[in-house]
Amino acid sequence: MNRPHFFRPSWVCILLFLSTGLAIIKAHGETIIIGGGPGSLAWEGQFSEVSVIDFETDPGQIQPIQNSPEDNIALKILERGGAVTSPNARIVLETSDAESIVLLNHMISGDRSRAFEVKGINAVGIIIDIDLGQRFAVNRLRFFTRENFEDFFLKGYEISLNDGTEEQRTLAGTPDFRLFKTVGRNTKPIVEENIPLQFVRFIKIKQLVRGEWEIDEIEIFGEGFASEASYTSKVFDQKQPAVFGGIRWTGGNIGEPTKAGVTLSTRSGTSPDPSDLSAWSNWSPPYPSGLSTTIESPAPRQYFQFRFQFTSGDIFSAATVDSLEFELSPALADSVLGEVWPQNAFIGQDTTFTYAVKSFGSRGFDHLQIETLAPVDVVRSVEIDGTEVDIDFENTEDGLQINFPRIVGDSTLRVEFDSIALQYNTVFSGKVFDSTKSNNLPQVVVAGDAVPQADGDDLSVTILVGKNLLHSMNVASAITPNGDGVNDEIRITYDIVNLTHTAPISISVYDLAGRLVKKIYSGTDTSGRYQQVWDGTNDSGEQIIPGIYLVHLEIEADSGTEGKMAIVSLVY
């Protein structure tokens, strides 16, 4: 006859698991470290695309480029993805689109022998639009003719600026330029305009006076950090489907920390080409700095990529990234699907759940960890492909871990257990492990059709709620605090349900005259199972006299106050 597996007290569980060898699995895969010093990969060799990133100022870390007053920002416009365009030059000069682009780019080439020329044409109103590719702090604009062509300077011009923010865009999404300066009559072949230091992304120069003219070079100067910068890694190819573990990065700040920041995101794919959007996930939400968190990109996937995005609202402030490390390892199976049923349960009510896991192409695993805030009291049975198997198990802070015979290939694992749903959104997430390979990471169980005849295809349970806030309170009926190690204290275990946020909880001991003896607990809890301890002392820490006492638990919520009472005998 099959017997349910009941959980024992924690000290019994410890003895059991010492004898069986079961332990909490803490697997680690291959750790890739970039930056931070000797022994790690260099930032310079791990990117597929960067925008205004500085590798040299502080070797081992990355940060946005900081321009000095002598740096000509215009020279790397094309490298940053910017451009020099004109809405009407091609028509006036009667050139092709390709020829027009070549002519316009002469102005940012650094080659003093080639210029953008308007010759033999009596036109006015030619516009030059410059996109710097990023927002830079700009304070000077300079343009001039080639040597020996000083007579062909721009006789009149208008300069307009745009900082590249959403606030300076038209309804159509184009830059909404602010007029900076109009010069109706220019007499200088070298034009130099000082600009109050400000972030600029777009610059417009408009011809105002008819005549022949040319511009050899447009030079743009400023100082401080770029407003935005980015570092996109190369595609990491694991050569086979892989699962992802933790990710951690560290950084710092230059200038005012509150005015600059950087975010890290990841994505994964089944194709080596990230431009194939159908084969790649979206970029993940940002990961916090300084903390090891789990990579959220879908797995198992063969390809992996990360991206840092820097922003600054202050010209002289910037965020920096020192190092990054993340874990990868071969997948334990091509896919692992899971579902739980029944799909509905009454809150606070003991319910028997079936948790099914279907593996495809498993290379081998022998542990299942079910993570849930719903307390698991009994494991009734575990089956592999319809045959009940012997198991070891442990109830953890996060749920339940089960050890079973190794599963290889395509198989269905079925676990039946008793639990109490104490929250509105009760999820039974899962991971499988391979205990024979300590350097392999766990593989997440993905919600799906693990058992065709079962309804739901989901790992969460819809909770049918009632009105009560306190589902249960369990207290031993007697306490004997005489120091012999037996019943020297009692545990008050209680289940809170139907709360969507925290509420004040108090647990107190009273004598039969209604006098307060001991305040055991005063705090805030939300839905869940909790435990407090009383050792038979009063609020002064003194042992109290034998007698009958009342343990009172009270919760104060928006819906009202609710309490439960238990009688405890204290004897020596």
118-146 pLDDT tens trace: 999 889 999 999 999 999 999 999 999 99
Instruction: Give the model confidence (pLDDT) of 507-528 as tens digits.
Output: 999 999 889 999 999 999 988 8
Residues 183 and 209 occupy one common structural domain: yes
Residues 512 and 529 occupy one common structural domain: yes
pLDDT reported for residue 467? 65
Residues 353 and 445 occupy one common structural domain: yes
pLDDT reported for residue 177? 97
15 pLDDT more than 50: no
Q: What are phi and psi of 56, to 5 degrees?
A: -105, -30
Amino acid sitting at position 470: L
474 pLDDT more than 70: yes
Residues 79 and 175 occupy one common structural domain: yes
**CA dihedral over 135, 139, 145, 147, signed as positive or negative:** negative
pLDDT reported for residue 268? 97
Mean pLDDT, rounded, for 184-192: 96
Token output for 275: 């431009």
182 pLDDT more than 90: yes
pLDDT reported for residue 25? 43
pLDDT reported for residue 85? 97
Residues 124, 210 contacting (CB under 8 angstroms): yes
Token output for 409: 């290939």
- Residue 422 belongs to what domain range? 5-27+332-464
pLDDT reported for residue 465? 61
Q: Distance (Å, rounded) from C-alpha 446 to C-alpha 458?
A: 9
- Beta pairing partners, 412: 358
Q: What are phi and psi of 479, to 5 degrees?
A: -135, 135
In this structure, what CATH number is given to the domain that contains residue 106?
2.60.120.260
Q: Distance (Å, rounded) from C-alpha 396 to C-alpha 252?
A: 37
Residue of 227, 262, 196, 232 lying closest to 134 (CA atoms): 227
Residue of 413, 396, 395 lying closest to 404 (CA atoms): 413
Residues 248 and 145 occupy one common structural domain: no
Residues 298 and 390 occupy one common structural domain: no
Mean pLDDT of the chain: 90
pLDDT reported for residue 6? 41
Residues 113 and 196 occupy one common structural domain: yes
Residue of 193, 406, 225 lying closest to 311 (CA atoms): 225
Residues 372 and 479 occupy one common structural domain: no
Token output for 24: 């909490």
Query: Residue 492 CB: number of other CB atoms within 10 A?
Result: 22
pLDDT reported for residue 497? 79
Residues 81 and 177 occupy one common structural domain: yes
456 pLDDT more than 80: no
Q: Strand locations in 385-452, DSSP E?
A: 387-388, 392-396, 399-420, 425-427, 429-433, 443-444, 446-447
pLDDT reported for residue 18? 29
Confidence of residue 14 (pLDDT cuts 50, 70, 90): very low
pLDDT reported for residue 466? 61
In this structure, what CATH number is given to the domain that contains residue 482?
2.60.40.4070
Residues 407, 385 contacting (CB under 8 angstroms): no
In this structure, what CATH number is given to the domain that contains residue 285?
2.60.120
Residues 128 and 173 occupy one common structural domain: yes
535 pLDDT more than 50: yes
SS3 400: strand
Query: For the chain, what is the domain count?
Result: 4
Mean pLDDT, rounded, for 90-115: 95
pLDDT reported for residue 464? 67
232 pLDDT more than 60: yes
- Beta pairing partners, 560: 557
208 pLDDT more than 50: yes
Q: Distance (Å, rounded) from C-alpha 405 to C-alpha 367?
A: 9
Provide, rounded to the nearest whole percent, the portion of the chain with pLDDT above 70: 93
Instruction: Give the model confidence (pLDDT) of 296-317 as tens digits.
Output: 999 999 999 999 999 999 999 9
Q: Distance (Å, rounded) from C-alpha 468 to C-alpha 565?
A: 15
Residue of 375, 370, 378 lying closest to 400 (CA atoms): 370
Residues 43 and 94 occupy one common structural domain: no
pLDDT reported for residue 343? 87
Confidence of residue 396 (pLDDT cuts 50, 70, 90): confident
Residues 388 and 403 occupy one common structural domain: yes
Residues in the chain: 572
Confidence of residue 397 (pLDDT cuts 50, 70, 90): confident
Token output for 273: 């080409």
Q: Give the residue carrying structure tokens 């024992």.
A: 8
Q: Distance (Å, rounded) from C-alpha 247 to C-alpha 264?
A: 10
Q: Distance (Å, rounded) from C-alpha 288 to C-alpha 266?
A: 12
pLDDT reported for residue 196? 96
Residues 433, 27 contacting (CB under 8 angstroms): yes
Q: Distance (Å, rounded) from C-alpha 177 to C-alpha 166?
A: 12
Residue of 130, 33, 127, 61 lying closest to 327 (CA atoms): 33
Confidence of residue 2 (pLDDT cuts 50, 70, 90): very low
Amino acid sitting at position 150: E
Instruction: Give the model confidence (pLDDT) of 33-84 as tens digits.
Output: 999 878 899 999 999 999 999 999 998 999 999 999 999 999 999 998 999 9
Mean pLDDT, rounded, for 164-193: 95
13 pLDDT more than 50: no
Mean pLDDT, rounded, for 248-257: 95
**Which of these three, 168, 199, 222, is where a domain ends?**
222
Q: Spell out the residues 6+ positions from residue 323 whose beta carbon is closer than 8 angstroms to its own.
A: 33, 34, 35, 36, 37, 40, 60, 61, 249, 250
**Which of these three, 159, 189, 222, is where a domain ends?**
222
391 pLDDT more than 80: yes
Residue of 174, 163, 169, 162 lying closest to 205 (CA atoms): 162
Q: Distance (Å, rounded) from C-alpha 499 to C-alpha 562?
A: 13
Query: Residue 526 CB: number of other CB atoms within 10 A?
Result: 15
Query: Residue 310 CB: number of other CB atoms within 10 A?
Result: 26
- Whole-number Cα distances in Å, 288 to 79, 326, 418: 30, 13, 36
**Which of these three, 300, 330, 360, is where a domain ends?**
330
